[in-house]
Structure 1
Amino acid sequence: MELSISLTGDSAKYIQIYEEIRQAILARRLLGHEQLPSKRALARTLDVSVHTVQEAYEQLLAEGYVYSKERSGYFIAPFEFDWVQEEQQLETPLSTIISNDIQYDFHNGHVDKETFPYSLWHKLLKKHVNKNNLSTSPWAGEGFLRSEIARYVQRSRGVVCDASQVFVYGGTQSQLQALSLFFGPQSKVGVEEPGFKRVHTTLRQCGLSTEAIPVDKAGITLPSKTIHMLYTTPAHQFPLGMIMTVERRAALLQWANLMMHTLLKMTMTQNFVIKGCQSPL
């Protein structure tokens, strides 16, 4: 077999060889069970080392585009289904981003570049970031920081906890991803409506189903359906900004306690049924 490969790009040569063969396979210019040239033959044709061709072939092999036979060489792996999307030409050019001349940017997730204290930020980075504090930290966060957070939430929010119950993450998204892995994809999560859209998106990306729970002047309303988790922002509802009333907080805690006992009872009943089916008559 002769291959038409052009090594004109800036990337490594073995990557260019891999990409061109891969595209030929996906475009069906190379068919299933056809044999690729030997490594030495292709290396001579392209004026590259045998090692370069071997790296390209091994990458194709690792991704399943080719298979190998001992003492025979490499062959194109067959596939029976159409797994390549047809290339589409854009009918309209990409829209140009217009820079609005605004004084303050309150958009969620944005940083006001004009008012951010860059000089102070750089000064603190130089002062505190060095080779002595770049070692791997405990996965749950530094112990001193977690202890201080536990003390802070007890003073400011009335939450009684200790450092072992505090976990430090880099943001809301990473926290929700960890919770999703812990509870599993079978869980259903109640989210505020309106609420933080990125929470809804993250939960769905992790495979969990969500249930929209309406919000009124007192905060999130009591869920009417069975759910396993509830995401709410009682101290400052996002995006409406109201603070959840004491009456609503108490009612929500009562609902959570009742829901916990209901789910535990359902779990115990299911375990009893399963064990009963497995037990001999």
Structure 2
Amino acid sequence: MNRVPISAASILPGSGACEDCLPLGLSAHLRTRLRLLAVHRIQVAHGETLLHAGAAFRHLYAVCKGSFKSVFLGEDGGQQIIAFHWPRQLLGLSGYAEKACLTDLIALEPTEAYEFSWHAIEALARESPEFLEHLLDSMSERLALAKRDQFMLGSMCSTQKIAYFLLQMAAHAPACGLAAGSFTLPMTREDIGSYLGLTMETVSRLLSQLSKAGVVLIDRKRVTLRKSDVLQAWLDGETKPFAWKSPIRV
């Protein structure tokens, strides 16, 4: 992992640095203020851990490019992926209450993030009502998404879980600079299974059957949704109206 200190001159507007990691929806003035708070640019290799569970809560991280997975470590030694993270997302807020990181944060690919001191972020939030509102919105949205995932994935069959996952990936594509409906899967089939509560074999079989049915086009790690309406109907439990080229078996 390579940590590069950031000088103020290197992140001035127009330099290109830090632009792709800042959250959307902030005013130009606030974006400049936030940009100047970055203390390190961190380059994380595939498989490296940016944060370990139990680490002291001192920093937040804005993903510039690449992606991470949050891995929860159970008391019995078991591991489960509870979230994936993409560019422009602010990471580390989940450790605020306990003052410690709750999960391992592992890079799924060569990834770059900017590091911010929590004390500096907190000071900006006290000074700027706009930024405080954005920070609270971000925390609330993250909590709501986690609750939604917990409910949805706990009540779905395996086919619905795959449909849900693919549609969620497609929704993140524009933020990663990709066309809607086309995205890259940086994670392994085993990672997907851990997140969805499925075996790797089930994930591989369902993706293969979806590809044969013409619902998705899979080229190595690149996925294109060809019939997102079919996935949505599948997610909603309305599969009868569709004639599959290849029967989907679970």
Q: TM-score range by the shorter chain?
A: under 0.3
TM-score normalised to structure 1 length: 0.25
Higher normalized strand content (fraction of residues): 2
TM-score normalised to structure 2 length: 0.27
Larger RCO, structures 1/2 (Cα 8 Å, 6+ apart): 2
